Structure 1
Amino acid sequence: MKAWVESLKSGLPGKDVSPLQFFGKHGISVAFIVCMVVFSLASSKFLSADNFLTVVMQASIIGTIALGVTFVVIGGNLDLSVGSLLSFATVLVVDLHDKVDPAMAIALMFLFTLLVGALNGYLIGYLKLNSLIVTLGMLSAIQGITLVYTGGKNVGISDQENTWFAFFGRGDLFGIPVPALLFITLGIVLQIVLVKTGFGRKIFAIGGNGTAALFSGLRRNRLVFSTYLLSAFTTGCAALILGSRVMGSQNNVGEGYELLVLAGIILGGTSLLGGSGSIVRTIIGVLILAFIQNGLLLLGYPYYTQWLVTWVVIIVAVWLDIAAKRGKLLSTY
C-alpha cells in the first residue's frame, strides 16, 4: 500500500507530467478510489468488513483466471477458451470426487487443464496460428466435450458435509475466506514472477516487439507456450474454488467468463496489443468490476444495470489509455 501511494505521488501532474498522462498511468487507481468513495457514501453496508470479504471472495474465480490470462495478453495473444475450460474442469473435479478420492480428482483435473493449455500453446507458439481463432475454436470444442462427458446432465458431490474438498471454496483461515486468500496469494506470486524474473521480462519483450525479441535470441515459441500453460493452471485453480464452493456443477457454468476476464484485464490497463500490463492492475480491474456490481445491487438497481455501467467504465478506461499514448483526448483522423 505504501509503495502504491508513493507511485501515485510521483506521478502527480506537474511541470513534467500532464493531467492526461497522469490519468493514463494512474487512472485505474483513481477510478478504484472514486468507486469506493461513491458507493460507501450511498450505502452504509458497502465498506463493512463482511461485505468487503464477500466481494473479494466472489471476484476470486474471475480474478484467479485473469492472473494467468494477463501473461497471455502481455505476450501479445488472447485466450478465449478459459470459460469452457472452467466449465469442464469444474465438472471433472466434481464428478471424479465420488468416483475416486478428492486428491486424485484434483490431480486429474489439473492434468486435463494443462493438456489443453499445452495444445493451445503448441498451436499458437510453435505453429504460429492466430490466437483468437485457435482459442475461439477451443472454446467450442471443450464445451462439446463437456456435454459429451456428462451426457447433458449436471453433476454433484453426494456427501457434501464430510469432505475436506469443501475447504477450497467454503473454508476460511484467520477469518478470511480461503478463495480470497488463494486469489491474493497467487496474485502476489505471479506479480513477483512478472516484474522480478527474467521470464517476466521476456514476456514483455515478445509482446512489445516480437521480431526484435526474436533477433535478440529469445525463444518466442517456448515463451508463448508457457503463457498458455500458466493460463490453464490458473483456470484449474478457479475450477477448484468453484467446484468446492458449489459442490456441484452445471455443464455451462463457465459460460461468458472469458469476456468478464478480459474486461477485468482491459480495465486494469493491460494493452490488447501486448507488451504492457501488470498483475496488480489486473487485480484492481477485477475488483472494480466486482465492487460496481455489488454497489449497484446494494442500491437496489436491477441486474442488467451492472452490464451497462461496466460497459461505460471499460470504454472510458480504454479511451483514457489510448488518449494518454496519443497525447490528446480526441483524434482528428
Structure 2
Amino acid sequence: MPRHHASDLAHRLGEHAEAVCRHYLSNGRRQGNYWTVGDVHNAPGRSMFVRLRPSPKGRPGKWTDAATGQHGDLLDVIRESLGLVDFKDVADEARAFLAMPLPEPDPRLSRAKSVPVPTGSPEASRRLFAMSQPILGTVVETYLRGRGITTLHGTGTLRFHPRCFYRPDDDGPTETWPAMIAAVTDLDGRFTGAHRTWLAPDGTGKAPVDTPRRAMGDLLGHAVRFGVPRNVMAAGEGIETTLSLRCAMPDMAMAAALSAAHLAAILFPPTLRRLYVIRDNDPAGDGARDTLIERAVEAGIEAIVLSPTMEDFNEDLCHLGLDALRASIADQLMRRDRFRYLTRAA
C-alpha cells in the first residue's frame, strides 16, 4: 500500500483514538488525555501510553511504551494486538473498524455507567458490544476454526464476551455463558443492534441452551458486515454461512442479515451494482432469495444466486473442504468477479 494511504488510515484511526483503544487494547483504561495499557499486545499494565487528543507534543493515536521504548501509531496497534503479518490484512482490519459505529464517549455516561436503557434496544446492544473484546485468542476463534472458518482478518464486527447473560425462554434462572457478539449496523455504519451466539466454555460448540442464538435491537434492513461494499457484495442469512463463503473470497464485501426474513429486506448500498445472494437450501431461503432478487432488479442491481452443494456453505466448507467450495462457486460467479475475487484467493 502506498505510504500516503497508510498515513490516511492512521489519521482516520487517530480521529477515533479512544474507540480504537477500547476495541484493540481492552485491558487498558483512560487516564486524562491518554489510554494506558501494559503493552501493544494488550497486556494488563500501565507502561504504554496512547495519546487520545491532539497537543503540541503529537497527534492523537501516537503511542510510546515507556518500558521498551517502542512507539508507533494505531495501525501498529492493530497489527500487534491481532498478530497480523501482512500490511494488507492490517489495512483491511482498519477499514472494517472504520466502517463500524464509532461514537465519541459521553463523559456523563462514563461517570454514570449504571444509567438504565431499555432491554434489547440499540443502545443496550451498543453497550454489550463495547463491553466485549476482540475475538483472536478467545473461544470465539476456537469455535469458528472448529467450523472450518479460518479467514478472520477484517472481522472487527465480531467480539467475545466471557460471561454474557442468557435468560431461558421458560423464565428459568438467568445463566452466563461465553458468547460471540456481532455488531448489526446500518449502511452508514451506525450501530442498530447485536447478535449473540452463546458458546461452550471451551469453544467446541454452542452452549447447551434452548436458543443459543438471539438478536437484539433494530434489525430490519441492517446486517452484520464484513468489508466495505462498493459496486459488488454478497449477502446471506447466517454469520457462519457468510463467513464460510468469505473464506473462498476474502476480498468481497459481505453481509449477514441473520434470518431469511431480514435477508429479504436488507438495504442496498447506493454504489451497489451487483449483488450475490448467498442461498441456503431450504424453503425459507428460497423465499428470501426470490424477494431479494425482485427488490434488487427494481433498484437496477444485477442479482446472482450462489447455491451450496449441501444445506449451506458452512456444511460445504466443513464436509467438502475449501477447494471444493471454491470449485462449486466458480461457475456461479460472473467471469470478471471470478478473476477479481476467486483467483486471487486461491
TM-score, with length taken from structure 2:
0.26
Structure with more of its chain in strand, by fraction: 2
TM-score, with length taken from structure 1:
0.26
Structure possessing the higher relative contact order (Cα contacts under 8 Å, 6 or more residues apart) = 1
Structure with more of its chain in helix, by fraction: 1
